[in-house]
Amino acid sequence: MKKTRAYKHFNTQYAVEDYSEMYKKLRFDLRYPPNIKRLEIFANLLKKHKPKKIIDAGCGAGMPLIFLKKMGFNITGYDKAKNMVLKAKENLENNNISPNLIFYDDFENPRNVKNNSVDCILGMGAFYYSKNFKKTILNQKKKLKKKGRLIFSARNRLFDISTLNNYTQIFLNELHETKYLKNEWKKKYKNLTKNFSDRKKYKFRNIDEQGVVNHKPHNPLTIDDEMKNLGFKVEGKYFYHYHPLPPVFENFDKVYFRKISWKMENPNDWRGYLLASAMVIDCKKI
C-alpha cells in the first residue's frame, strides 16, 4: 500500500470538514465519538494542573482549542496542514475568538515556538503521526519550561490482544517469538489463530488501512520507561475508545455496538489496558 504523509492526508478537504464535525453532538448512526471523550480527559487534566500557557500541537480544525479557550485557558495552536489552519481560523472567527491564536508550524520540529516558553503542550491525535516519535518528543521538550507538562494521546498496543483479527495474530507472533520456532511448530501455532477475522473484509477501515504513515502503538506497561528515557515522568494514563467486543461486531449492528461502547467509557477502568484502543499520557518534564 502506498504510504501518505499524515499532514497531506489531513490537508484534504474531506479531512478538514470531518475534523470540524466530529466534536459536535453524539450521532451513533454516523460515527463513534472517541475524540469527544479524549477532549474530556484533556480538559479535566488541565483543570487539575492549571497551566498558565498552553499550546495545542497539531491543532487540526481548532475545535478542541475553541472548547478549551471558552473554559478560560490561555491556549494557542498550530498545524502543518495549511487547509486545517485556514479552517481553524474560520472556526475561531465563527466563535468570536481571534483567529490569530492559530498559526502554521510543524509539530515534529516546531520553529515558531520559543524554547523554554510553554507550561503545557497538548498532542491530541498528533504525535503518533510523526516520522520519528522520539525526535518529535525531544523537539517538543525544548519548548517546555522547567517541569513543564506534556499531555498527548497514544494508540494502545495491548488492545491488539482483544481484537481477535490480523492485529492479534501479529501481536501473538511477536509475543511468543514464533519466528524462532521450528517449522513444524510454526504451522501448529498458525493453526491456532487461523480463524481470527480478516480486516480486509471489514466495512470500516482504520487509518492504517488508508495508508497514512504513523508510529507503532505504545504499550501502556512500558511507556513510563520510554518517556523517562526522553526526559519525562509519566504521572497518569487514561484510556478511551473502548470496545466491549472485538471490532468485527460493529459490522453486525453499528449503532448498538457504539452505544454499549460509549457506556463502557471510563478513563480509569483497568479493562482499558486491553479493551481501549487509545489512551492519554500525562507527563512532566524532568
Pairwise pLDDT comparison (50 vs 197), residue with the higher score: 50
pLDDT in the model for residue 21: 80
Give the residue-averaged pLDDT of 9-17.
75
Residue 65 has pLDDT above 80, yes or no: yes
Q: What is the mean pLDDT of residues 75-80?
A: 96
Nearest to 198 by CA among 170, 173, 174: 170
Percent pLDDT > 90 in the chain is: 78
**List of E strands, 95-231:** 102-104, 118-123, 144-155
- The pLDDT-based confidence of 1 (bands split at 50, 70, 90) is very low
Res 207 pLDDT > 70: no
Provide the pLDDT for residue 284: 98
Mean predicted lDDT score pLDDT of the chain:
91
What type of residue sits at position 131? K
pLDDT of residue 172: 95
| pLDDT(3) > 90 | no
pLDDT band at 210, cuts 50/70/90? low
pLDDT band of 204, cuts 50, 70, 90:
low
Mean pLDDT of 121-129: 93
Amino acid (1-letter code) at residue 100: N
For residue 52 the three cell numbers come to 498558565
State the average pLDDT over residues 270-280.
98
Would you say residue 38 has pLDDT above 50?
yes
- Quote the CA–CA distance of 213 and 235 in Å, as a whole number: 28
Of 64-73, 85-94, 202-211, give the lowest mean pLDDT range: 202-211
pLDDT for residue 270 is more than 90 = yes
Q: Exposed/middle/buried for 29, CB within 10 Å: 0-12, 13-18, 19+?
A: exposed
The beta-strand segments (E) located in the chain are 54-57, 75-79, 102-104, 118-123, 144-155, 232-242, 276-285
What pLDDT sits at residue 7?
A: 63
Q: Report residue 203's pLDDT band, with 50, 70 and 90 as the boundaries.
A: low
Kindly list the distances between the CA atom of residue 101 and the CA atoms of 41, 88, 116, in Å, as whole numbers in the listed order. Answer: 22, 9, 19
* pLDDT over 80 (residue 202): no
- pTM, rounded to two decimals: 0.92
Give the residue among 242, 278, 250, 260 at the shortest CA–CA distance from 154: 278
